[in-house]
Structure 1
Amino acid sequence: MDLTDTTELALDHPSLYFNRELSLLQFNRRVLALAQDPKVPLLERLKFLCIVSNNLDEFFEVRVAGLIQQIAFGSTQTGPDGALPEAVLETVSAETHRLIGEQYRCLNECLLPELARESICFLRRADWTAAQREWVRLYFEREVLPVLTPMSLDPAHPFPKVQNKGLNFAVTLEGRDAYGRSSPIAIVQAPRVLPRIVKLPTHIAGPNDFIFLSSIIHDNVDRLFHGLKVTGFHQFRVTRNSELFVDEEEVDNLLSALAGELPRRHFGEEVRLEVADTCPPEVVEFLLKHFKLEHSDLFQVPGPVNLARLMAVIDLANRPDLLFPPFTPAQPKAISGHTSLFALLRRRPLLLHHPYQSFSPVVEFIRQAAQDPDVLAIKQTLYRTTPNSPIVDALIDAAVAGKQVTAVVELKARFDEANNIALAERLEAVGAQVVYGIVGHKTHAKMALVVRREKTGIRLYGHLGTGNYHPRTARQYTDLSLLTADPDLTQDMNDLFMHLTGVGRAPRLRKLLQAPFSLHAGILARIRRETELARAGKGGRIIARMNSLLEPEIIRALYEASRAGVRIDLIVRGVCCLRPGISGVSDNIRVLSVVDRFLEHSRVYCFENGGEPEVWAASADWMSRNFFRRLEVAFPIEASDLRKRVMRETLELYLADNCSAWDMQSDGSYVKRRPGAEEACRAAQAILLAKYTETPLYE
């Protein structure tokens, strides 16, 4: 459709919206660009390549699997762009084939040669010395052979169940065995306990010479089939639908139901087949037929079928000179000299910007609460955290000490279900009250509340965040934390916890915006207020950053605001279904994405409000699921100094970034900003690293 004259175009017209799946693939292209960027340290480039592979695995397990299910059930449901599932799947297939082709070109033509120049080499079988081949033989006998189970295929040996994303080999054979049986093909599965990449000892190789497990098995595969001739050895990998299906309204115990469902994740419906590009057509056709897949589901790749496994090389190589400079997150100056966080918070709120500032004050907040005899209760949401979380340990200590501990554990946090079931059981074992949120809604809000008895009576202290209670990702994701004793905010938090654990009408909150009740309406009201101010000639300004922007009514409101003259800047890291820069519709809207060392994870919304700006931080993206199918919280940044700091550090620096920012075009593509010679080092993350840690982004 020609969008040159769209003044009268309805703002819900499909042409004004992008496809979610294609937008997600666009994000992975931006990550892949970092793997190709010579300014990025070499092993970090390899890491970004692996991240793309992990992202694409989840894309197939969830997004592609979802499209296939829609088609199977005859769904005519479309996204806001109006595309049917069949059309989306066809386009996604073509785009993923192109993207994966670019991945392997990056690996084979850029990264592997540059790694070799740094003496980090992946040795091919044909290049092994006699000493290396003998070492491999002994390694195979000692470490690999005892755990392999070759499976010939005949009426007594059906095709084995192949695990999701597992490494497998199709072995073609000639001859008959001791029973007179002939089997033209056998399957060998590589157990997950085996490392996919093995470092050779330095007495027979260079300092960082590696071989693949597939090469080790290939060189010794005849040991698995005595007396038969091995005529082919071909690696393959299957990706499956990994969504878990539990009807929450039909089960008595969600934890038990999910625990029973988890093993099925490894054996869901097949959605993708990856094979080495050397695999002959007859073997490819055999595998496609067995897995009931089409040629569009086939990915023949010139290299390992799972690039994500190359991540192991980063640690094994021990080359810190090829990584980003290490940094120590700064401790906020405000806590210097304060032994009690509660005493500090009675004086003023504390804002932390992770990973530039340490996550340890958040952990310490829970620890102090657990150890303080005046603390009566701790209430906390847990969406994702580490298996051995210091926060969970502190909650356990608090429960053991006799404090009232309430944990709202989100069992359905995708791919963290097993970990969350384990931590829920640990908490329940010491008498903590553990609940699993609201049926039909994920608890995604990041809240911790401490109830303390003081001389003046009961006082509440709280933590609100944009990211998870996860000390490891707090060093990798950009997020905001607010520690506060504000009576309105903390009372709102307590009301929400009471609502989560009990029943009743949604509480009327004083300051917080909450999904699924007031957040969507609150954001719409503020967009429309800016629209009315612009129409009245009083300006109008919106700056918002988030991971994803998909919700159609919000997008329509932003289009209407743009038409009224509101200047809108959107910093959207990943999926964005809004089309910027369309004359008469969105010519006042800019969309940029920043992709750099740290994953941009903060959600911040700023509304100019006629010169009295409102700044909000939140756990929620602007997506339908966040607004209507999750418990989310947005909290205001009210102290003027903190509000200015949030605007500067999370919005203004990013809008000015001309090193790591990509501008979205009206056709959905992205163009990377290029700095002028005088500003060649300007990047938001670099500025913040230097400010807080005195660490350069690159050396």
Structure 2
Amino acid sequence: MSNNRVTQLKVAKNEKEQTVEPEMEAPYDGCPAIDENIDLDSSDYYLNRELSYFQFNLRVLDQARNPQHPIMERLTFLLIFSSNLDEFYEIRVSGLKKQLEGGRQRPGPDGKYPHEVLAELHEQTHIALQEQYRILNEELLPALAEQNIAFLHRHEWNEKLRNWAQTYFHNEVLPVISPLGLDPAHPFPRLVNKSLNFILSLEGKDAFGRESGLAIVPAPRALPRLIKVPAHIMPDGDNFVFLSSVIHAHVEEFFPGMQVKECHQFRVTRNSDLEMTNVEVEDVASALQGELHLRRYGAAVKLEVGAGCPEQLTNFLLQRFNLSEAELFRLDGPVNLQRLMALQGMIHRPDLQFPPFSPGLPSALEEGNCIFTAVKKEDQLLLHPYQSFLPVIDWVKQAARDPGVISIKQTLYRTNESSELVEALSEAARKGKEVTVVIELRARFDEEENIQFASILQEAGAVVVYGVMGYKTHAKMLLIVRREQGQLKRYAHLGTGNYHRKNSLVYTDYGLLTCDDVLCSDVHKVFQQITGMGKKISPELIMHAPFRLRKGIIQLIQQEKEAALAGKSARIVAKVNSLTHQAVIRELYCASQSGVKIDLIVRGICCLKPGVPGVSDNIRVVSTIGRFLEHSRVYYFENAENQLYCSSADWMERNLDSRIEVAFPILKKKWSQRILAEMELHLQDTVQSWELQPDGQYFKTQALDGSDTNQEGVQMILLNSLSTHATVPRS
């Protein structure tokens, strides 16, 4: 790696003092409540962050019950619930446990201590998992069977299938599995996070005279968990068996001469949060690679076992993993349920999925058009996935080949495998253009891939920086400098989501393509601050974290409050993934007390309590869950000079205080009006929206007449208006 081509940010203990404006870190004083008898810091007015997230995941699970969704999509939602729950335990629950173990218990704004939250979470998880497997066994599997898609348990195998399964076991499974008897010479193995394993109770002695009574059989991760039965064995329909069933049926072959008394599958979930310190790390990539290995073997946080596993064996496992009875979950089905995601690629049944659609494309950005010309004519606004992400990729490709382009700067947080953007940036670097890429190596669960992309770009000659230690670079920015008629002209793309083509097909996000001189100058300043060591920048239009964004949002809220107190119309509309920042919530309460109408579209976590008399009477919170993952962040303030901002930042502590984020105004009136109108759809929706109640519960939004089918869902309306599909049925 060439040192003069690669910028590695070397971290000193005083780096934060070098990069953070001290005045921006001043404590938040808080606005005074309109009613002096109300304490806006009281825990009575805040919901618990972790429990609020759990409510969100229950809304995801509810989609698996929705008979209006195609059956394969219902199964997908069921599996997304599993994936979300795993990550929640790997990161958030493990964090709560560390507080307990470290003796650092502190109540949150809601007044709950970590041990109280953990107890509630475990209780709710038991109930939710029971419901999840009920949906699977009583609704989804029978419905799939009606469509000739069957998952065959061992008691359903006929002789022909048993013979095939035995051959499959001998050819594909037996050669790669290493059973582990437990005795003083074979201690309990170090099992990988979320891997499928079996615990066995044995009777008899082996060839060495050992009689331990217990054994572990780990299922190699390379083996498919779902196996399709060949058509010549079962010609009717699509038939599948689980790897766990194949192993269970032949497990005695691992222990010849011994009798298997019990055999039960289990799976342990571990702490997967990386713990790189900010001090004395000279090479972020090398340090991170070391941490990635440890992630597979972090402290256990959740144990899942088959429903029939006896208490003797579960107690043994709990002891080995240092877990309590509350952290044990008995499942009526496969313990590694999300591996069923593989089904999507194993069958071709478009009739059982959402109808396909083709993303729309503004005529100015159609394939073959010069995107520089289109953007120079006017700003271009895209809403993915209803409008294609390809113009963004094409723009970088055009820039790489355009002889007038001399510089490209881009942030990459998450990007897809074999990314076209990485290839285009590499091509630009090889052609001699100045290419600088800020890669956030610490994008959770994408770290390894990002390290690989960094290496590819470095080899091509690009300057790669890893952001600023202690502050994840979460901003989504692209800056292109082009020589036109002897002068340099800047162009920028700013987005609310990642530069990830596959995600752009299922995540809703806004992207702005602009050549506005002031806005592009602001983007340039932010890049300079990230890659250099300058102390202070002063963007004119952009609000950026961790310096100006939190303060800017609070000032805009206060401006609406002052307008309301002066008798003017005042309104705030915000669409975010999560709302947890206590300072922002307090300001919203003050604004509500002053008469500001506040509509919040919060997909996931919301710690604010709406509808509390005297505090949040004027605040409404809705959550939209449906075909696409609502991911865009938009802030609207009726009385602001620039009324509408799009951003990469949620209203959370991590986004506003400890990440590099940007919020950018939508300057073109027709685009800001369009975005506001699209947010109004969420607020009016009666098909796929839930409304938050003061007690933290969510109720499905209903039309005034009590129906839920009088209006198309917001996502369906946008599909009809912005995509180019032929026809999409109503949900």
What's the TM-score once normalised by structure 2's chain length? 0.93
Distance in 1 of aligned mates of 2:182 and 2:729: 54
Match of 1:652 among 655, 673, 680: 680
Match of 1:588 among 604, 614, 618: 618
Aligned-residue offset at 1:183: 2.3
Aligned-residue offset at 1:678: 9.2
Residue 177 of structure 1 aligns with which residue? Answer: 206
Residue 74 of structure 1 aligns with which residue? Answer: 103
Structure-2 change in CA distance of 1:339 and 1:235 (3 Å): same
Q: Secondary structure at the match of 1:198?
A: strand
Structure-2 change in CA distance of 1:169 and 1:669 (3 Å): same
Distance in 1 of aligned mates of 2:523 and 2:283: 26
Give the letter for the 1:411 counterpart: L
Give the letter for the 1:653 counterpart: L
Distance in 2 of aligned mates of 1:338 and 1:193: 43
Q: What pairs with 1:378-389 in structure 2 (closer than 5 Å)?
A: 378-389=408-419
Q: What pairs with 1:327-346 in structure 2 (closer than 5 Å)?
A: 327-336=357-366, 339-346=369-376
Distance in 2 of aligned mates of 1:337 and 1:162: 50
Distance in 2 of aligned mates of 1:111 and 1:528: 50
Distance in 1 of aligned mates of 2:365 and 2:51: 45
Q: Secondary structure at the match of 2:435?
A: strand
Determine if the alignment matches structure 1 residue 618 to structure 2 residue 647: yes
Q: What pairs with 1:236-635 in structure 2 (closer than 5 Å)?
A: 236-336=266-366, 339-609=369-639, 614-635=643-664
Residue 21 of structure 2 aligns with which residue? Answer: none
Give the letter for the 1:224 counterpart: F
Residue 71 of structure 2 aligns with which residue? Answer: 42
Give the letter for the 2:663 counterpart: A
Q: Secondary structure at the match of 2:323?
A: coil
- 4+ long deviations beyond 3 Å: 675-679
Determine if the alignment matches structure 1 residue 211 to structure 2 residue 236: no
Contact 1:120 1:317 (C-alpha < 8 Å) held by counterparts: no
Contact 1:324 1:697 (C-alpha < 8 Å) held by counterparts: no
Residue 131 of structure 1 aligns with which residue? Answer: 160
Determine if the alignment matches structure 1 residue 24 to structure 2 residue 56: no
Cα shift readout 1:591-624 (whole Å, capped 9, x = no counterpart): 00000000000000000107x6601000000001
Give the letter for the 2:690 counterpart: W
Distance in 2 of aligned mates of 1:152 and 1:506: 62
Structure-2 change in CA distance of 1:697 and 1:163 (3 Å): farther
Give the letter for the 1:169 counterpart: F
Aligned-residue offset at 1:317: 2.7
Contact 2:380 2:514 (C-alpha < 8 Å) held by counterparts: yes
Residue 110 of structure 1 aligns with which residue? Answer: 139
Match of 2:666 among 614, 626, 637: 637
Q: What pairs with 1:121-160 in structure 2 (closer than 5 Å)?
A: 121-160=150-189
Aligned-residue offset at 1:698: 4.8
Contact 1:606 1:614 (C-alpha < 8 Å) held by counterparts: yes
Determine if the alignment matches structure 1 residue 90 to structure 2 residue 119: yes
Distance in 2 of aligned mates of 1:19 and 1:168: 34
Cα shift readout 1:138-175 (whole Å, capped 9, x = no counterpart): 11111111110000001111111110000000011111
Residue 22 of structure 2 aligns with which residue? Answer: none
Cα shift readout 1:556-605 (whole Å, capped 9, x = no counterpart): 00000000000000000000000000010001000000000000000000
Aligned-residue offset at 1:533: 0.6
- Give identity over the alignment, percent: 50
Give the letter for the 1:670 counterpart: Y
Aligned-residue offset at 1:439: 1.4
Aligned-residue offset at 1:405: 0.6
Higher relative contact order (CA 8 A, sep 6+): 2
Moved more, 240-249 or 275-284: 240-249
Distance in 2 of aligned mates of 1:600 and 1:257: 34
Contact 1:378 1:449 (C-alpha < 8 Å) held by counterparts: yes
Contact 2:198 2:217 (C-alpha < 8 Å) held by counterparts: yes
Contact 2:687 2:708 (C-alpha < 8 Å) held by counterparts: no
Contact 2:712 2:730 (C-alpha < 8 Å) held by counterparts: no
Aligned-residue offset at 1:315: 2.4
Contact 2:642 2:666 (C-alpha < 8 Å) held by counterparts: no
Determine if the alignment matches structure 1 residue 696 to structure 2 residue 725: no
Distance in 2 of aligned mates of 1:648 and 1:535: 26
Distance in 2 of aligned mates of 1:99 and 1:339: 51
Contact 2:685 2:711 (C-alpha < 8 Å) held by counterparts: no
Structure-2 change in CA distance of 1:137 and 1:581 (3 Å): same
Give the letter for the 1:217 counterpart: I
Contact 2:702 2:708 (C-alpha < 8 Å) held by counterparts: no
Distance in 2 of aligned mates of 1:87 and 1:335: 53
Aligned-residue offset at 1:393: 0.5
Aligned-residue offset at 1:313: 1.7
Give the letter for the 2:525 counterpart: D
Residue 661 of structure 1 aligns with which residue? Answer: 689
Contact 1:7 1:585 (C-alpha < 8 Å) held by counterparts: no
Determine if the alignment matches structure 1 residue 231 to structure 2 residue 283: no
Structure-2 change in CA distance of 1:697 and 1:252 (3 Å): farther
Give the letter for the 2:722 counterpart: Y
Structure-2 change in CA distance of 1:499 and 1:109 (3 Å): same
Moved more, 520-529 or 686-695: 686-695
Residue 8 of structure 2 aligns with which residue? Answer: none
Structure-2 change in CA distance of 1:113 and 1:257 (3 Å): same
Structure-2 change in CA distance of 1:439 and 1:351 (3 Å): same
Give the letter for the 2:118 counterpart: L
Aligned-residue offset at 1:179: 1.4
Distance in 2 of aligned mates of 1:669 and 1:505: 45
Q: Secondary structure at the match of 2:492?
A: strand
Structure-2 change in CA distance of 1:404 and 1:678 (3 Å): closer
